[in-house]
Structures are given as structure tokens and as C-alpha cells.
Amino acid sequence: MTADPSETPAGTAGAGTADLTLDTKVAAADVPPEILAQSLGQYLKAWWLQVRSGNSGVLPVVLAIVIVAVVFEIITPEHAFLRPSNLVYIFGLSTVYMVLAIAETLVLLLAEVDLSTGAVALIGGVIAFKLVQQPGPDWPWWAAVLAALACCGAIGAIQGALTALLRIPSFVVTLAGFLLFSGILVVILGGADSSVNLNTAVPNQNVIYEMVQGLISPVVGWIILAVVVVAVGASLWLRGTARRRQGLVAPPLSLTVIRIALVAIIGAAVVIICSINRGSTLKTVAGVPWVIPIVLVVLGAWTLVLQRTRFGRYIYAIGGNPEAARRAGVRVPAIRIWAFALSSATAALGGILLGSFFYGEYSTNTADPGQLVLYSIAAAVIGGVSLFGGRGKAIHGILGGLLIGGIAFGVSLLNLGSLSTPLTYILPGGVLLAAVLIDVLSRRGAGSVTRV
């Protein structure tokens, strides 16, 4: 799991590797730059090499987010797009897409696809909402959330088993699943015109309502931010020094410092934006929505699982080359089933957040499961997850979700009259096609470099 080029044997601090990074372009393009680089300059050069060879990572989506923000700020009436109240609304809206995109990423990494994500998410949301109803089951909120995750996990496991064991193509299994669960959704809602609501007066139900709608007071927000930055910084710093002590290749110190600073700056920006009063002078509305730390926990958990566990490595291995993974002793069907199950469980969390975002109400009109799954695939692919498996990270889902949420909200801000409904379909479709085109072309670029 360390350096690929044989020029840098593990265990020796690579002195004199400075030139090799540029000579062995082919190998360098395939290796994370922090492994090869000894100084910040080398790191940037190695990173640029990676971008040029098609491994552009988060760069395109970050650029796209900047462009979308600037363009909408210019063209929206009264330049309202970047107002704090709107930004916080975009965060709330985007979190649903972010979580669903992470769910979809898990499956895409295996070179499969899950078209039922939207329907499963809605089922998860409705299950959780139904279980806390009073009169009704009146379960504690955490038990209801866990039950929703477990139910959807089971759904995912079944679909995964059909794909992994019987080798029915995943898009057919999940297409049928989409139809099936869209129908079952209406059944458990209790009919076509039924809805299920959270009663905010009941503390137990209010917890779920507050997931997206609730705010952390600004002071607590700053404290949480400080804790997060210190924790992330300490772990990054300690990992770097530990590796260096043991003579392993480690990212240059300056890079670690920059990373910690970036986390701190982005975090501070979010807290500052959220802490501005976006209510009226009479009623103050300020603070970070609870959903932001929730999404960060999801991101952190999936980043850890994908990057630091054996399960995660196996997912990348299968996505890269299933036959090679099988011959290396990976139990491919088991990993596939687990990935589908965990993806659906993550989707269920997205569904619960969706209900909370719509002010604690779930009806058949809350969201179209078909559109939801398209948005989540689009978010993952736009974020930089490859459709062909083996390439992508949880952070890509987050960034892609933010972009989709930003576009969806930006269009609704424009006074387009009858055009605004069609545009909510056309823009994500166009962005999806553009993202896949970039994915295909960059893969072609990557292929040509390796072949040289």
C-alpha cells in the first residue's frame, strides 16, 4: 500500500528521489502525489502531473462550484444567491443529495449502479417517520432511525445478492427494485393521498425534525469547529510524524500545515456564514444547522471505511478488476452484497434528512424517487466518481451534492416563469452528460499515458 515505483523502496527515506518523480511520469500519474513528493514544490508538480493525466480528482467539481456560485450571483435578481440565508438553505438542500451521492458512490466504486437509491431512501424516511408516530408505535427516535437503516440495509442486501450471486445486471435488479419500492412506498404511506407528519411539540419527534431544521447556537458552533479542527489537525500531524519516525514516506510538513489551515478556513467560513442573523430584527435566526455535523460524520465514517480498512481496499480492488480481486482471494460476492447493503442504509439516512428538510412532512409528493436517484448519480459522477468502478471517494459525493443543490436552488431563484420547471430537469441532465463525458475523456487520457 505504499510507493509503487521500485525506485523508492519502502523503509528508506527516499533521498534523491527528486528527479525520479518527473522522470517516471507514467508511474507518478498513478501514485498519490504525497507519497512521491518530499517538498511542497514537488508535491504540486506531482499533483499537476496527475491532473494532466486524467486523474483530476476534486479539481473540476471545485471549479464548477466556483463558476456556478459566481454565475448565479451575477444573474439572480438583486444578486441574492450568495446571501447567508440562501447559502444555509443550499447547505440544507444539498445534504440530501450529498448523502445519497455517497450511497451511490459505494455502488459505483464496484462498477455497478443502484437505480433504486431514491425509492429506498424515501422508504427509509417513511419508516423512521412512521415509527415515531404518537399515537402509534412511538419508538424512541434513535430506535426508529436504526430500524429504518436496518430495513433499507436488508433491501440493499437482497438486491446485492441478486446481483452478486446470480449475476443479474445491477441496473436491471435495481430498475425492478425502483418500481417495486416506489409501489411499496405508497403502500406503507397508507395510500396515494396519505402523508405522515412529525409533531414538533413531541420532543421525541422533534429530534428528527431538528436534524435539518434545528440550529446549533453560534457559540457552540465555534466550539465544535475548534474541536473538529484540532482533532483533524492533530490526527494529520501525528500520522505524518509517526510515518516519518518509522522511516516511511510521508507528506511534506508544509503540506500538512496547509491542509490543516484549509480545514480551519473552510470551517470558519461556514460557521461565520451560518452565524449571521438571517431572520428579522425581531426574531433572530442564526447558527449552524445540525445537518452539517451529521453530514461531516457520514463523510468521515465513509472516508475511513473506504481509505483505511480492508473492506474499502477490497471495494476498490473489485471495481478496478473483479477477476484480479477474485484471484487475490477477495470474496467478491460477499463484498458486493455488503456494499449494496451499506449503500442502501446510507440512502435511508438521506431519506430521513429529506423528510426533515421538508419540515417533517412525508407524502407521495415529497420527492419523485426517479428524479432523486438521477440527482444522486449525477452528484456522484459530477463529484468525480467514475462510472467504470474503482475510482472515487466519499468527498466527491459531498462536492457533487453541493453543486447539484446549488444549481437546483439557483434555478428556482431566477424568475423564469414557465421555464423554471423544465430547467430543473434539463440542467441536471446536461450536467450529468457533461460529467460523464469528462469522465470518459479523462479515462481515455489516463489510458494513453499508461500505454506509453
Residues of this chain that interact with other proteins (CB under 8 A) are 113, 162, 166-169, 171-173, 175-180, 182-187, 192, 368, 370-371, 374, 377-378, 381, 387-388, 418-419, 421-426, 428-430, 432-433, 436-437, 440-441
Min dist. Cβ of residue 344 to other proteins (A)? 16
Instruction: Considering the complex, state which of residue 8 and residue 163 has its C-beta at the smaller distance from other proteins.
Output: 163
Instruction: Considering the complex, state which of residue 148 and residue 432 has its C-beta at the smaller distance from other proteins.
Output: 432
Q: What sign does the dihedral 173-174-177-178 (CA atoms) show?
A: negative
Cell of 165: 450471486
In the block, which residue shows the cell 474541536?
227
Instruction: Considering the complex, state which of residue 78 and residue 323 has its C-beta at the smaller distance from other proteins.
Output: 323
Min dist. Cβ of residue 93 to other proteins (A)? 18
* Torsion region of 362: left, alpha or beta (phi above 0 gives left; psi -120 to 50 gives alpha): beta
Which alpha helices (DSSP H) does 37-116 contain, by range?
A: 40-52, 59-75, 84-108
Instruction: Considering the complex, state which of residue 307 and residue 421 has its C-beta at the smaller distance from other proteins.
Output: 421
Min dist. Cβ of residue 146 to other proteins (A)? 26
To which H or E segment does residue 197 belong? Answer: strand 195-197
Min dist. Cβ of residue 173 to other proteins (A)? 7
Residue 196 φ/ψ, nearest 5 degrees = -130, 130
CA distance 92 to 357: 7
Cell of 310: 480492508
CB atoms within 10 A of CB 137: 12
Cβ contacts of 180 within 8 Å, gap of 6 or more? 116, 119
Instruction: Considering the complex, state which of residue 39 and residue 421 has its C-beta at the smaller distance from other proteins.
Output: 421
Min dist. Cβ of residue 364 to other proteins (A)? 9
The radius of gyration of the chain's CA atoms, rounded to the nearest angstrom, is 23
Which alpha helices (DSSP H) does 190-217 contain, by range?
A: 203-213
Instruction: Considering the complex, state which of residue 76 and residue 163 has its C-beta at the smaller distance from other proteins.
Output: 163
Yes or no: say if 85 and 110 are a contact pair by the CB < 8 Å rule: no
Min dist. Cβ of residue 374 to other proteins (A)? 6
Instruction: Considering the complex, state which of residue 179 and residue 257 has its C-beta at the smaller distance from other proteins.
Output: 179
Instruction: Considering the complex, state which of residue 137 and residue 183 has its C-beta at the smaller distance from other proteins.
Output: 183
Angle 40-44-46 from CA coordinates, rounded to 5°: 115
Residue 168 φ/ψ, nearest 5 degrees = -75, 135
Nearest to 155 by CA among 188, 191, 137, 180: 180
Min dist. Cβ of residue 417 to other proteins (A)? 11
Min dist. Cβ of residue 406 to other proteins (A)? 17
